Structure 1
Amino acid sequence: MARILAIDYGRKRCGLAVTDVLQITPGGLATVRTHELVAYLQSYLSREAVERILVGHPRQMNHQESESMTYIRLFVAQLEKLFPSVAIELVDERFTSTLAQRTIREAGIGKIRRQADKGLVDEISAVIILQSYLASRDGLGTIHLPD
């Protein structure tokens, strides 16, 4: 088997998460500046077998796509050209930032570190995207997001 990689794509930086090779356990991988993301992915995929890349699909409460999909579509098209043998899939990312911030607070990470390490939210958001995908794929339902 190969890993599954999740990306919480942002205009400034992107959070990345990845599974183990058995696709059981998701974990944070990195936070990367958006303009460095493609080079990072090329390097990572040259070292690690990845069968699927999940990209967060931002939607509004009414299920319409957010305006950031313009940039995400371009990014996904670039991924499809660079990695034709890797499946690329959009995964609903509503509330991932909210859940990530809650997770960080509940983990006891102090306010100063939270403010200094904004990338931590992005990385944890990618982990949540990946957890949600794995749960739905394995028939465990989805992670319940706040209304």
Structure 2
Amino acid sequence: MSRILAIDYGIKRTGIAVTDELQIIASGLTTVASDTAISFLKDYFSKENVAKVLIGEPKQMNGTASESTPIIEKFVKEFVTNFPEIPVVRVDERFTSKMAFQTMIDSGLKKKQRQNKGLVDEIAATILLQDYLTRKMI
């Protein structure tokens, strides 16, 4: 089978998570500088079979677009241009960063480790992906 990849795109950093080949378990893959995300993905897709990509869709509490929406929309267009054969699914990413930070606290990471914003982004992408997998199974 093939993998599903999730992207938590941000202005500076992009968290990336991926499933196993059976699409059962979501795991953090890495965090990359956002300006290198497309080149990282080109390299990754040349090595791994990815069936679909989830990209976080930032929204306000009332469901309207957030201030970072134009930046992420630009990335989505660039992604589709570079990888037209890979389906993109937009996923609501509200609360994923807060959930990621809470996960870090709950897992006992020290304060210094919790300040690693790259790790927060990677965990947020993993939460996006695990939530998608859970909903898919229902």
Query: Shorter-chain TM-score: which interval?
Result: over 0.9
Q: Render the CA deviation track for 1:52-72: whole Å, top value 9, x for unaligned.
A: 110111111100010211011
SS at match of 2:10: coil
- Segments of 5+ residues of structure 2 without an aligned counterpart are none
Kindly provide the amino acid, as one letter, of the partner of residue 134 in structure 2.
A
- Give the alignment of 1:64-83 within 5 angstroms: 64-83=64-83
Q: Render the CA deviation track for 1:19-43: whole Å, top value 9, x for unaligned.
A: 0011001000000000111110000
- Segments of 5+ residues of structure 1 without an aligned counterpart are 140-147
TM-score, scaled relative to structure 1: 0.92
**RMSD, matched Cα:** 0.7
TM-score, scaled relative to structure 2: 0.98
**Counterpart position of 2:29:** 29
**Counterpart position of 2:131:** 132
- Give the alignment of 1:1-147 within 5 angstroms: 1-115=1-115, 117-139=116-138
**How far did 1:101 drift?**
0.4
Q: How many residues align?
A: 138
CA distance, structure 1, for counterparts of residue 65 and residue 20 of structure 2: 30
